[in-house]
C-alpha cells in the first residue's frame, strides 16, 4: 500500500518543490505515458486527465506528515505548494523507489508551468487520434485555455524531448 505513496514522495523529492495540485496531476500523468512507474488511474476532467487516487494519496501523505503543503491565497484562487519534509525523507530511506532516467524527465517537467503541462497531458490523452482530430479535441475541450496550433506543436515537441531524455544514450553514465 505505502509503495504507491512512496512514489509520489520520491517525485516531489526529485522535483524539490511542486507548485500546484494541477501541476502534480499532470506530471504524474505524463510520467505514466513515459513508462515511469506510477499506478494512478486517470479520467478526463475539466483540466485534462485527472486522478482522484492521486488527490487522495497526496492528502494522506500530508495528513501522515510526510509532505508539507503550503497554501497561498490570491483572492478566490488557492495555490498549493508541495515539498518533502524530514519525516518524508526518513520514510523514503526504507523504500526502494528508483525512476532511473525518469528522474531527468521529472526535473524537466517541473521547469514548465501547469498550463503547458495541462496541454501536454491532453495531447497524450488524445494521442491515439489522427493529428487534426486531436487538435480539434483540444480546441473544443480546452477552448477557455485558448491554446494555439503553435503551442500544440511545442507540446508535441516537448513530449519528444521527454522521450529522448528517457531513452538517453547507451554510453551515458548511470544516474545517481
pLDDT at 175 over 50: no
Q: What is the pLDDT of residues 69-124, one digit of tens each?
A: 999 988 888 899 999 999 999 999 999 999 999 999 999 999 999 999 999 999 99
What's the helix, strand, coil split of the chain in %, to 5?
55, 15, 30
pLDDT of residue 130: 96
pLDDT exceeds 60 at position 143: yes
Please state, in angstroms and rounded to a whole number, the distance separating the CA atoms of residues 29 and 125.
9
d(CA 168, CA 34): 13
Residues 6+ apart with CB under 8 A from 149: 135
Which residues, including other chains, have CB under 8 Å from residue 134's CB and lie 6 or more apart?
A: 123, 126, 127
Mean pLDDT is highest, among 9-13, 95-99, 141-145, for 9-13
Quote the pLDDT of residue 1: 59
Residue 131 to residue 176: CA distance in whole angstroms: 38
**Of 45 and 26, the one with more pLDDT:** 26
The more confident residue out of 175 and 20 is 20
CB atoms within 10 A of CB 159: 17
- pLDDT at residue number 173: 46
pTM: 0.92
28, pLDDT greater than 90 = yes
User: pLDDT for 33-65, tens place per residue?
Assistant: 999 999 999 999 988 999 999 999 999 999 999
Amino acid at each position: 500500500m505505502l509503495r504507491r505513496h512512496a512514489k509520489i514522495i520520491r517525485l516531489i523529492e526529485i522535483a524539490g518543490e511542486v507548485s500546484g495540485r494541477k501541476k502534480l496531476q499532470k506530471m504524474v500523468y505524463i510520467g505514466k505515458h513515459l513508462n515511469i512507474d506510477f499506478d494512478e488511474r486517470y479520467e478526463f476532467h475539466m483540466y485534462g486527465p485527472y486522478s482522484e487516487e492521486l488527490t487522495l494519496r497526496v492528502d494522506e501523505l500530508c495528513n501522515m506528515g510526510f509532505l508539507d503543503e503550503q497554501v497561498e491565497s490570491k483572492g478566490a484562487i488557492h495555490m498549493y505548494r508541495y515539498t518533502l519534509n524530514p519525516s518524508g525523507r526518513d520514510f523514503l530511506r526504507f523504500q526502494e523507489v528508483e525512476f532511473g532516467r525518469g528522474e531527468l524527465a521529472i526535473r524537466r517537467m517541473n521547469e514548465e508551468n501547469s498550463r503547458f503541462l495541462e496541454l501536454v497531458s491532453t495531447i497524450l490523452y488524445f494521442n491515439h487520434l489522427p493529428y487534426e482530430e486531436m487538435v480539434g479535441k483540444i480546441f473544443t475541450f480546452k477552448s477557455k485555455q485558448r491554446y494555439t496550433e503553435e503551442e500544440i506543436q511545442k507540446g508535441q515537441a516537448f513530449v519528444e524531448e521527454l522521450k529522448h531524455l528517457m531513452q538517453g544514450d547507451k554510453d551515458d553514465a548511470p544516474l545517481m
